[in-house]
Every structure is written in C-alpha cells, then in structure tokens.
Structure 1
Amino acid sequence: MPEVIFTGPAGRIEGRYHPAKQKNAPLAIILHPHPQFGGTMNHQIVYQLYYAFAHRNFAVLRFNFRGVGRSQGSFDHGSGELSDAAAALDWAQTINPEARSCWIAGFSFGAWIGMQLLMRRPEIEGFISIAPPANLYDFSFLAPCPSSGLIAHGDKDAVAPAKDINTLVEKLKTQKGIVIEQRVIPGANHFFESKVEALLEVCTGYLDKRLGIVKPAA
C-alpha cells in the first residue's frame, strides 16, 4: 500500500495506491466522506472498498481531498474537490496507460463528487455510490447518467433520508441503456454503525456480478 503524493489543482495531494499485477487492469478511484465532518481516505468504509477492488485485481487509488491530512489547499464546497478527483484519475491513468476501464466509488459527500466525475469522464464504466446525500446536494447533473452502477444506503439514514435517495434512483432508472441497482441495508444509519459488513457484502456482491466472478458454492 505505497503512499503517493501527486499534484492537484490546489497543490500536493496525499494518497495510497495499490498497483495491479496486470498492465491492462482496470482502475478504481475511492472518494471519502465530507472533509469538514471527519472524512478522510482512512475512513473504514473507504479503506474496505479500496481493498475490495484491490482483491479483484484493480489498480486502486484512495486520496485525501484538499485540506485533509497532508493534502494542500482548503475545503472548497465540492467544486475544488471535483477537480481533485479529476486530478487523481489523471494521475492513475498516467501510471496505468493501458488500463482498459475505470470505476469510481464514493461514500456520502464522496458519492456526490464521484457521480459528478462520472458525468465528465466517459471512460468510467461502473460506480458504487454509498449513501449519496440527495437531499443536501443537487444531483440533477445526472441527465442522463452515463454508466450503470450501485446505489447502497441504509433505511435508518437521517443524514441522507431514504425517500430522497429513492427519488434519485427512480429518476435514474428511467434512462435507457444503463442499469441502476439499489440496495437498502436494513437498520443502517448514515454511518453504517454495526452494519459495515452488510454494506460491504452488498458492494462486493455487485462488483463480482459486474465482473462476472462466480463464487464457488458453499
């Protein structure tokens, strides 16, 4: 898990990078929750997603948005953080010029940033969006949503209520050519307290399905 430093729009960005064994392995970028509410690249869910992709032979990058950890700059209410995410993808593609595809995964604020990056980068072919705060941020830019993906959230989420996420999902489902899978984790709040394992089972199951990985029968 080598520590990496690369240049972003606001200066140095601190990240952790897991190289893949194959040259043409797909890329995954993992985005952390809100920087002003303790979100960092070492958040448990971000960390676990990072390893879920690494175990499936992706080249994976997680990083701290500007102003978090050793990343330079200061919080920019989303627009700067989107630029940071674009810079992270650029850096990962420079390291992996033969990467055949890319995935984006984000939690909460990171899900919002990830969905915006998805709109700008046609090479992103899959996404995992965890507890996207559809009530707090405008997701109307997803018109149309260019890629199929998973939206996972808890039914006890008071920060990003299920009804707002349901509205977002219903809107996305009307688009032809993509499949949005929605999974609700029973009893989970916004932080998935005592439900992280259930969340990860949903995420890895979706990833395996999309990648065509068949689990041996128990």
Structure 2
Amino acid sequence: MVEVLFSGHAGRLEGRYHKGERADAPVALILHPHPQYGGTMNNKVVYTLFSCFRDLGFSVLRFNFRSVGRSQGTFEDGPGELADASAALDWLQHHNPDARQCWIAGYSFGSWVAMQLLMRRPDINNFIAVSPPANEKDFSFLAPCPASGLIIQGGADEIGNPAMVTSLAKRLNMQRHVDVDYALIEEGDHMYNNHLVDLYKVSGNYILDVVNRITPQKKQRGRRRKSDIIEDEDMLLLEEQNNQEDDFDDDFDDEI
C-alpha cells in the first residue's frame, strides 16, 4: 500500500492505493463517511472494505474527500464530493487500463456518493453500499439502478434506519436487469463494532461469487478462495495499525 496524491476539481486529493498483482486485476474505489462527523479514509469500516478487495486481488484506492486530511477544498455535502469520487475513479482507471472489472463501494455518506457516481459512470460494473443513509438522503435517483450490487446493513444501527434500508434494497431488487443482494448483520451497530469480520466475510463472499460467475473456468494464478478470508477481527485491525499507526482513526463514535 502506498500513499498517493492526485488532482481533484478543488485541488489535491490524498489517498492510499494498493496495486493488484495482475495487469488485468479488477479495480475498486472506496468512499468514506461524512467528513463533518469525523469520516476519513482511515475509518475502520472503510479499511475493512479496502482489505477485502485487496485480499481478493483487486487494485484498490481509498481517499479523503475535499477538506479532509491533506485533501484540499471545502465540504459541499454532495456535489463536490461526487466530483472528487469521479476524479479518483479516473486516476484509478488511468493506472489500471487493462482492468477487467470496476467496482465502487461506500460506507454511510460515502455509499450515497457512491450510488450517485454509479448513475453517472457506465464503466462501473458492481457496487457495495454499507449502511446507506436512507433516513437522511434521497435515493430515488436510482431509477433504474444501472448495475447489480450488495447492500449491507447493521440490525442494531443507532444512527441509520435498518427498516428503511431494507425497503430500499427490496425496491432496487424489484427492478429489471439487476440483482441487488441484501445482507443484514443483525447485531451490528452503525460502526460495526465487534462485527468487522462479519462485514469482511459478507463483502468477500459476495465479491468472490460475482467474480467467479464472470470467469468461472479460469484458474488464475494467485486466485483467492473463501478459505482465505480473515477470521479474527483483532488481526484485521492490527494489520492496519501496523501499516498506518500514525493516522488510523480509532475514535469515530459520531461518524455517519
């Protein structure tokens, strides 16, 4: 994993990037929660998603929206952050011209931005939306939803509304030509405290299923299996702390 800086519409944007081993490795972009509630690219949920894609052979990028960390610009509550995400995806695709798939993933506020980017970028093949803020943001723009994906929600979410997210997932899955899976982590709160490994496994199993459906007969060198998925939440967190001890966000009780 390396630190990267790239140009956005409001100035420099800061990110962390992992390059997959294969030239045609699929790519994934991860978007973080609300900047005004402490959300950054070093959020534990964001890093869990990053780790999952990385461990499955993807080239993956997470970055700070404008005004966060070393990223320049001012918060715009949607339009500016969408522009940042588009610039980040451009950078990721420029550095991976042979990528065979393109994924977008986001957590909370980041999932709302991710779904807007999905509507604007037909090159995105699949999505993962974790705890989409269906009680705070309007998702009616997903008409129709242009790609299949996975929605993950914590059943004990004290900030979001699990019932509204369940309803959103059902509405999207009723649309033609897409399959929107829904996974409820029953005891998961908004931060997925003590349930990050559950989040990792649900995400990883979905990604593997999609990738294997697309290329079922290929025996790819270095291909990951479900048995490779991390089993220990402490191991997952320790790995990130070892990589980025100075800027890992350990206190994010108010993030949405």
Q: What TM-score, normalized by structure 1, do the two folds share?
A: 0.96
Aligned to 1:129: 129
> Counterpart of 1:47 in structure 2: which amino acid?
Y
**2:237 is the alignment partner of 1:215:** no
| Aligned sequence identity (%) | 51
More relative contact order, 1 or 2 (CA 8 Å, 6+ apart): 2
Distance 1:70 1:170 in 2: 39
The alpha-carbon deviation at position 102 of structure 1 amounts to: 0.4
Distance 1:196 1:22 in 2: 27
RMSD: 1.4
Counterpart secondary structure, 1:182: strand
Structure 2 unaligned blocks of 5 or more: 213-223, 228-256
Counterpart secondary structure, 1:124: coil
User: Residue deviations 1:82-131, cap 9 Å, x none?
Assistant: 00000000011111112222001110001101111111111111111000
User: Residue deviations 1:134-166, cap 9 Å, x none?
Assistant: 110010110111111110011111221111112
Distance 1:30 1:166 in 2: 22
Say which is worse superposed, 161-170 or 110-119, in terms of deviation: 161-170
Distance 1:200 1:119 in 2: 25
Distance 1:196 1:21 in 2: 26
Distance 2:79 2:129 in 1: 18
Say which is worse superposed, 164-173 or 109-118, in terms of deviation: 164-173
Aligned to 1:4: 4
The alpha-carbon deviation at position 200 of structure 1 amounts to: 1.4
> Counterpart of 1:166 in structure 2: which amino acid?
T
Aligned to 1:158: 158
Aligned to 1:109: 109
Aligned to 2:46: 46
User: Residue deviations 1:162-212, cap 9 Å, x none?
Assistant: 111122112101111111110100111111122112121111111111112
How many pairs align?
217
Write out the 4+ residue segments of structure 1 that deviate beyond 2 Å after TM superposition: 213-216
Distance 2:2 2:200 in 1: 23
User: Residue deviations 1:56-83, cap 9 Å, x none?
Assistant: 1111110000000000011111110000
**2:32 is the alignment partner of 1:32:** yes
Distance 1:101 1:108 in 2: 23
Distance 1:4 1:197 in 2: 27
Counterpart secondary structure, 2:226: coil
The alpha-carbon deviation at position 214 of structure 1 amounts to: 5.1
Counterpart secondary structure, 1:98: coil
Aligned to 2:145: 145
> Counterpart of 2:68 in structure 1: which amino acid?
V
* Mapping for residues 6-25 of structure 1, pairs under 5 Å: 6-25=6-25
> Counterpart of 2:56 in structure 1: which amino acid?
R
Aligned to 1:71: 71
Distance 1:163 1:176 in 2: 23
Aligned to 1:84: 84
Counterpart secondary structure, 2:151: strand
